[in-house]
Structure 1
Amino acid sequence: MGKTKLLIAFIAFGTLVSFQKTTEAPEKEINWMTLEEAIKLQEKEPKKIIMDVYTNWCGPCKMLDKNTFHNEDVVDYVNEHYYAVKFNAEGKDTITYKDKTYTNPKYDASKASRRNSVHQFTRALNVSAYPTMVFFNEEGNYIQAIKGYLKPQKLELYLKLFKTDKYKEMTTQEKFNEYYKNFEPTFKE
Structure 2
Amino acid sequence: MKNLLIAFVFLMCLSTQAQEINWMSMNEALEAQKKEPKKIFMDVYTNWCGPCKLLDKKTFHNKDVVQFVNEHYYAVKFNAEGTEEVRYNDFTYTNPNYNPNRKGRNSQHFLANALKITGYPSMVFFDENANLIAPVVGYKTAEQLEIYLKMIQNDDYKKLTSAGAWQKYEKSFVGTFTN
TM-score by length of structure 1 reads 0.86
Larger radius of gyration: 1
Q: Which residue does 1:96 correspond to in 2?
A: 87
Q: 1:29-77: per-residue Cα shift (whole Å, max 9, x none)?
A: 0000011111111112111000000000000000100110000000000
Q: Say whether 1:158 aligns with 2:155.
A: no
Task: Choose the corresponding residue for 2:169, options 175, 179, 183.
Answer: 179
For the residues of structure 1 that align with 2:154 and 2:21, how far apart are their CA atoms? 20
Task: Choose the corresponding residue for 2:33, options 17, 36, 42.
Answer: 42
Task: Choose the corresponding residue for 1:141, options 131, 143, 164.
Answer: 131
Q: Partner of 1:85: helix, strand, or coil?
A: strand
Against the structure 1 CA distance between its residues 103 and 182, is the aligned structure 2 distance closer, same or farther, given a 3 Å change threshold?
Answer: same
Displacement after TM superposition at 1:27 (Å): 1.0
Q: Which residue does 1:7 correspond to in 2?
A: none
Q: Partner of 2:169: helix, strand, or coil?
A: helix
What number of residue pairs does the alignment pair up? 168
One-letter code aligned to 1:157: I
Q: Which residue does 2:5 correspond to in 1?
A: none
Q: Which residue does 2:117 correspond to in 1?
A: 127
Task: Choose the corresponding residue for 1:55, options 38, 42, 46.
Answer: 46
Name stretches of at least 5 consecutive residues in structure 1 with no aligned partner.
1-19
One-letter code aligned to 1:29: E
Q: Which residue does 2:58 correspond to in 1?
A: 67
Against the structure 1 CA distance between its residues 67 and 173, is the aligned structure 2 distance closer, same or farther, given a 3 Å change threshold?
Answer: farther
One-letter code aligned to 2:25: T
Q: Which residue does 1:15 correspond to in 2?
A: none
Q: Say whether 1:169 aligns with 2:159.
A: yes
Q: 1:107-142: per-residue Cα shift (whole Å, max 9, x none)?
A: 01123x610011111110000100000000001110
Displacement after TM superposition at 1:173 (Å): 4.0
For the residues of structure 1 that align with 2:46 and 2:104, how far apart are their CA atoms? 8
Q: Which residue does 2:73 correspond to in 1?
A: 82
One-letter code aligned to 1:164: N
TM-score by length of structure 2 reads 0.90
Q: Partner of 1:24: helix, strand, or coil?
A: helix
Q: Partner of 2:146: helix, strand, or coil?
A: helix
Task: Single out whichever of 83-92 and 167-176 deviates more from structure 2.
Answer: 167-176
Q: Which residue does 2:21 correspond to in 1?
A: 30
Name stretches of at least 5 consecutive residues in structure 2 with no aligned partner.
1-8
**How much identity, in percent, do the aligned residues show?**
53
Q: Partner of 2:166: helix, strand, or coil?
A: helix
Q: Which residue does 2:96 correspond to in 1?
A: 105
Structure 1: 4+ residue segments shifted above 4 A: none
Displacement after TM superposition at 1:81 (Å): 0.3
One-letter code aligned to 1:134: V
- Supply the RMSD in Å over aligned alpha carbons: 1.4
